[in-house]
Structure 1
Amino acid sequence: MSSSELCPVYAPFFGAMGCTAAIVFTCLGASYGTSKSGVGISAMGVLRPDLLIKCIIPVVMAGIIAIYGLVVSVLISGGIENPMTLYAGFIQLGAGLSVGLSGLAAGIAIGIVGDAGVRGTAQQPRLFIGMILILIFAEVLGLYGLIVALILNTRASEGPSCK
């Protein structure tokens, strides 16, 4: 293969799309989780205002999802260069999609569990520990995507070179 086939001018586009996917999808998941959990906290605050601060945990956990996307997005953007191999561009796209889509799924799960969990905790405070455990399992979904994205991003430099 010639150098122009390995390093087309559009290769950095895929890296930029990976960077974009990482931050956009994780922020969508975090915003959904925050808003859905926030509605549950508002409804719960009417019944049990003494549990308000204790039940903010789902909102904090949803915000952590966005940090995963930010970390990967910064790492990917540091690896975008010109010329760049198509291999590296696709690896960066895969890394961004990995953390982005898993963060979206984790944010949706945290939002649903957080909403139902804090409303249930208002009626039965013993549900709090169960809600926390389920929230941890939902958060781990985003962490899996982060780990895969970090592994993929380290592999971007192992492919062919443009020299």
Structure 2
Amino acid sequence: MAEAANDKPSYSVFFGAMGAFCAICFSSLGAAYGTAISGVGIATMAVQRPDLIMKSIIPVVMAGIIAIYGLVVAVLIAGSINSEYSIQKGYIQLGAGLAVGLAGLAAGFAIGIVGDAGVRGTATQPRLFVGMILILIFAEVLGLYGMIVAIYLYTKL
């Protein structure tokens, strides 16, 4: 009964740890998907136009940045876990981890699909390159929005 009145139950750390897990896990899944799908497009394109390989690496780099967003939030959350960890802080940090993780997952999917189609299209029509970069930037910013929301949530308590 004493634990019910206490704002710092022993299981509150679980929610913070799950927030850190969700941040790095989901954002890394998105980055891995974006890298894999874009990589398939690059490999297919390189058969016809090997001179465009280095120019076509941009979607892979942008997908990798998504994982960095999750890493930043996961390290912030993990660094704040201590013996005075409240249940409210655990819930908020779980929400922060889910925000950056799921936004990173969605951004990684978008980067992978756009990167695949974009590099294949650029091989046959070089004017598509600028359009591909603009769409990739809009896809990347989805992950950035998730990180901004996560950091805002992180600073709430």
2:57 paired residue number: 56
Q: Distance in 2 between matches of 1:11 and 1:82?
A: 10
CA contact (8 A) 1:11 1:84 kept: yes
* Aligned 1:15-94 pairs, distance under 5 A: 15-94=16-95
One-letter amino acid matched to 1:99: V
Q: Please say if residues 9 and 83 of structure 1, whose CA atoms lie closer than 8 Å, have aligned partners that are also in contact.
A: no
What fraction of aligned residue pairs are identical, expressed as a percent? 69
Aligned ranges for residues 127-138 of structure 1 at < 5 Å?
Answer: 127-138=128-139
Contact 1:37 1:115 in 2 (8 A): yes
Structure 1: runs of 5+ lacking an equivalent: 157-163
TM-score (structure 2 length as normaliser): 0.96
Deviation at 1:145, TM superposition (A): 0.2
| TM-superposed deviation, 1:122 | 0.5
Conserved in 1, the CA contact under 8 Å of 2:8 and 2:86?
Answer: yes
Whole-angstrom CA distance in 2 between matches of 1:48 and 1:55: 10
How far, CA to CA, are the matches of 1:10 and 1:118 in structure 2?
48
- Give the whole-Å Cα distance in 1 for the aligned partners of 2:146 and 2:59: 19
Q: After the TM superposition, list the runs of 4 or more consecutive aligned residues in structure 1 that deviate by more than 2 angstroms.
A: 1-5
The gaps in structure 2 that reach 5 residues or longer are none
Residues of 2 paired with 1:87 and 1:43: CA distance?
A: 49
Q: CA RMSD in A?
A: 1.4
Alpha-carbon shift at residue 8 of structure 1 (Å) = 1.1
User: Which deviations, in whole Å up to 9, do the C-alpha atoms of 1:58-79 show, x marking residues without a partner?
Assistant: 0000000000000000000011
Specify the code of the residue in structure 2 equivalent to 1:36.
Answer: I
Q: 2:19 and 2:5 mapped to 1: Cα distance? A: 22
CA contact (8 A) 2:38 2:112 kept: yes
Normalised TM-score (structure 1): 0.93
Aligned partners of 1:125, 1:4: CA distance in 2, in Å? 66
State the Cα deviation string for residues 83-124 of structure 1 (Å, max 9, x = none).
Answer: 321100001100000000000000000000000000000010
Corresponding residue of 2:147: 146
Q: Contact 2:13 / 2:81 at 8 angstroms: preserved in 1? A: yes
Q: Is the 8 A contact 2:3 2:9 kept in 1?
A: no
